[in-house]
Structure 1
Amino acid sequence: MTLIAGSRLRVILIVLCCGLILSATLLLGLSTGARHMSFGTILDAVRSRADDEASLILWDIRLPRVMLAALVGAALAISGGIIQSVTRNPLGDPGLLGINAGAGLAIIMGTGFLGTDIVSSPFWLAAIGAGLAAFTVQALAGIPTPMRLTLAGIAVGAFCFGLTQAIALVDPDRFDLVRNWRAASLAAATVKNVVASLWMFGPGFLLALWIAPRISLIALGDERAASLGVSVNRTRLISLITVMLLAGGSTAASGPIAFIGLAAPHIARRAVRAGEGLTLAVAAFIGAELVILADAMARTAVAPDEIPISVVIAVLGAPFLIFMARRRQPTRQA
């Protein structure tokens, strides 16, 4: 009984700590930009919501941007954690299964050939592209073993990325309107975009919450999971759908962002050393914080201009990837 109470207290403390850090990060994201806003100014704008400049900047520009950054970071972190557990690949991230590349291909095709608006309609385009990519990977993998899923995802992702580049090169002027999206940016974030993203992020977060205990067992091995009553193939299929929703929604909202899905789950596992459910929850907090901080740096590094958020994350994430790759190198036998 004492052990259970101690475990619950530990979970509560971890969640409270993550919540406090996220709250501080949100305030930092709201205060940072071409025009610095003090915390007092932010509180006044929240209370009054007048037509002054500070209120307009907060409600129309920064708050939607910070909220979308938090959603994107959490979604990437959770999808990366699921991929790493299901495929048992410590270097897995949402790009591994071709989801991001499929969503990106659908968006650029819809924008270029159908004349859809990149601002108002990326989510249904991303849903189609991510879904087709996910189920293509599933079909190519056949019996969905970790190695087959990984190889099929790499192949589908490479094909979609190559086709995207080829389409963009055919008529550069025509596809110039998606340049900011392809570079990954949250500059066009609006309340409408945040609300539109929830129809992909919402079901994805709920599925992740439901599937987390089964993923913990699959991470121990297929035979052991099956002996404990887990339907391995069905769990992998649901995991694929979850990743499709979360990674596809993230790609639609901000463009392709790397490293968050790789780094956040690893940081969470080292921090909490607990089951997959708590690990994914902590990873979601960490992913949200990382994207908010990266977006704040992107806005202030060359203010009043800004650089793509993907550049900031790549600069920060590349050393982490090198560290993980070297850490996983097998030791040579004498």
Structure 2
Amino acid sequence: MASRGRPAALAGGLVVAFGVLVLVAMASVALGARSVPLSTVLDALTAPNGSSDHTVIRELRVPRTLLGIGVGAALGLAGALMQSLTRNPLADPGLLGINEGAALGVTLALGLFGLSDPAVYVWFAFGGAALASVVVYALGSSGRSGAGPVRLALAGIAVGMVFTAVASAVLRMDSQTFDRMRFWLTGSLAGQTSDVLLRLAPFMIIGLAVGLLLARPLNMLALGDDAGKALGVAVTRTRVLTAVSVTLLCGSATAAAGPLWFVGLAVPHAVRAVVGQDQRWALPYTMLAAPVLLLAADVAGRLIARPGEVQVGIMCAVVGAPIFILMVRRRRLAAL
């Protein structure tokens, strides 16, 4: 009976997580430099009258909230996929330099080629994310000890710093591009329109769908490549599809909101502490919990600095950095 009750409890937990996400999304729409009553929010969504509050809600806060949901889900799922595939507890799109690679791609598209359409420069983000993945894995797996967690993390930090330095050099050459991207490079959900969301949403949706479909083969690969093969898993195809999903998720999320750290690192660990290692549950839970964290950080950044705001990238770093330090200090990490 206990084994039958656990799936029901986990399914109920998903419903609760979705409800929490809805509540945080409503708070994101209602709270900001000027707070708006929930009744006004509902009126703006159902019967807009053209007032200033309704215009702000529909044209600024709703797109920002939807973007936060998409970016949070993308980064959270990307981190969970990377940690599962590599069996590396430190795998994270920001920590392994993937977000910085995507950011470099966007910087080159805007600074050198003058491409301002998100549907165009997102391809540069994909290329930068893929390049960073290859370089970090090659550096982290060199030598006799192989691709250990700490080696990959150090390689990712080094590669991310190099990519960030190159992006900074490009921005220094063009003051207009620098002014446009300085907040984006910190990581921000502000200033994006619904058009940006619509252009990038297909890439996020495809990446999320592919990632969720990989839950079963990733469960089997957790036993090792040989055991996975014996259970019928196509190891190479699973790795390729995971890489494609991570690239789509990180590239589109970074193109939309800039490089954000620690969302893909902290949330999967918190989720696995609750639901266990089964990716069939861990992945969808992460996809719901990550945007809760991102939107909550975004709302907190707006409230603590009224009438201005603290960018969500800074808020995520404030939350995620202590978690990262605690993970590195855990004794069992050194034995992985």
TM-score where L is the length of structure 2: 0.89
- Give distance in 2, aligned partners of 1:161 and 1:249: 18
Shift in alpha-carbon separation, 1:245–1:330, aligned structure 2, 3 A: closer
Distance 1:259 1:98 in 2: 12
Instruction: Confirm or deny that 1:205 pairs with 2:204.
Output: no
* C-alpha displacement of 1:98: 3.4
1:193 corresponds to which of 196, 214, 224: 196
Write out per-residue CA displacement over residues 134-170 of structure 1, whole angstroms, 9 at most, x where no aligned residue.
4556777899x75499387566544423322332344
Q: Report the equivalent of 2:254.
A: 251
Contact 2:263 2:290 in 1 (8 A): yes
5 Å matches for 1:1-334? Answer: 5-117=4-116, 121-134=120-133, 146-147=147-148, 150=152, 156-172=159-175, 174-329=177-332
**For structure 1, which segment, 82-91 or 164-173, has the greater mean C-alpha deviation from structure 2 after superposition?**
164-173
Partner Cα separation in structure 2 for residue 80 and residue 34 of structure 1: 32
CA distance in 2, matches of 1:296, 1:25: 9
Contact 1:76–1:260 (CA under 8 A) maintained in structure 2: yes
CA contact (8 A) 1:126 1:251 kept: yes
Cα drift, residue 70 of structure 1: 0.8
1:100-128 residue CA offsets vs partner (Å, 9 max, x unmatched)? 12211111111111112276754233133
Deviations 1:210-243 (A, max 9, x none): 1111112222222221221112222112111110
Deviates more, 1:162-171 or 1:61-70: 162-171
Q: CA deviation at 1:291?
A: 0.6
Other structure's SS at 1:175 match = helix
Matched residues in 2 for 1:259 and 1:273: separation? 20
**One-letter identity of the residue aligned with 1:108:** T
Q: Closer, same or farther in 2 for the Cα pair 1:140/1:320, shift >3 Å?
A: closer
Change (3 A) 1:174 1:154: closer
**Secondary structure class of the residue paired with 2:190:** coil
- How far did 1:298 drift? 1.6
RMSD: 2.6
- The letter for the 2-side match of 1:47 is T
- The question of whether the paired residues in 2 share the 8 Å contact of 1:85 and 1:215 is answered with yes
**Unaligned 5+ runs, structure 2:** none
Taking the aligned partners of 1:177 and 1:331, their CA distance within structure 2 comes to 42
CA distance in 2, matches of 1:328, 1:57: 49
The sequence identity of aligned pairs, in percent, is 34
Q: 1:89/1:54 Cα in 2 relative to 1: closer, same or farther (>3 Å)?
A: same
**Which secondary structure state, in structure 2, belongs to the residue aligned with residue 302 of structure 1?**
coil
Q: Cα distance, 1:5 vs. partner? A: 4.7
Q: Is the 8 A contact 1:77 1:287 kept in 2?
A: yes
Q: Summarize the Cα distance change of 1:176–1:90 in structure 2 as closer, same or farther, 3 Å threshold.
A: same
Secondary structure (helix, strand or coil) at the match of 1:23 reads helix
Between the aligned partners of 1:241 and 1:134, the Cα distance in structure 2 is 11
Q: Partners in 1 of 2:267 and 2:139 — Cα distance? A: 29
Amino acid at match of 2:195: K
1:13-70 deviation per Cα after TM superposition (whole angstroms, max 9, x unaligned):
1111111111111111111111111111111222212211221111101010011001
Structure 1 residues without counterparts, runs of 5 or longer: none
TM-score between the two structures when normalised by the length of structure 1 = 0.89
Name the amino acid aligned to 2:23. A
Question: Following superposition, which runs of at least 4 residues in structure 1 exceed 6 angstroms of deviation?
Answer: 138-143
1:3 to partner: Cα distance: 6.2
CA deviations over 1:81-109 (Å, ceiling 9, x no partner):
11111111111101354321221111111
Instruction: Number of aligned residue pairs: give it.
Output: 330
